[in-house]
Chain A
Amino acid sequence: DGGITQSPKYLFRKEGQNVTLSCEQNLNHDAMYWYRQDPGQGLRLIYYSQIVNDFQKGDIAEGYSVSREKKESFPLTVTSAQKNPTAFYLCASNTGGPAYEQYFGPGTRLTVT
């Protein structure tokens, strides 16, 4: 099946620890995105990548880092500098062509205590 996978579904960390969230897609999409969703709110863009080895900051990049070494993979690291990391994290991809539609993964719920 083609799609986007995120792992794990639930993640628990202690404050002060870095944590990396996985996002993999087999849709052959060029562009990938990371969003953060807080309860009762919409999606806010953290980082995005339109091509391998290139990525740009979104609206709320502080305290996060990404890499795009392979077309299929776009991992997100939540660093200890992120002041309020507990949230639902969503990864998405897009063909990079004329369509704007983004396909989303199932999400990772991160809880930091």
Chain B
Amino acid sequence: GAGVSQSPSNKVTEKGKDVELRCDPISGHTALYWYRQRLGQGLEFLIYFQGNSAPDKSGLPSDRFSAERTGESVSTLTIQRTQQEDSAVYLCASSSMTGRSPLHFGNGTRLTVT
């Protein structure tokens, strides 16, 4: 595909359940980012991948949040024991190696924890 793809687009889950969000970056993009956006708020950084290593995990809000990336491809963000405060849109972005390259965003996964 031409762009960043995220799935599912919407996810409703019960409090306490685990969820897995998926991101397919643009082919050849080595950098991958996860962000969280609460309703009406700005983007909040979660984690950055370079290849399949994560040199910056400083934005993960708790140990219930984890992410992995296989090769320079798909990434999954896992939230364990979801809480209502986890309800938000989770956005994934990818970019190529240089600092001049823009971030290419997917359209996000809207997570609702009931």
Pair from one complex: no
Q: Which residues of A contact B (CB under 8 A)?
A: none
Q: Which residues of B contact A (CB under 8 A)?
A: none
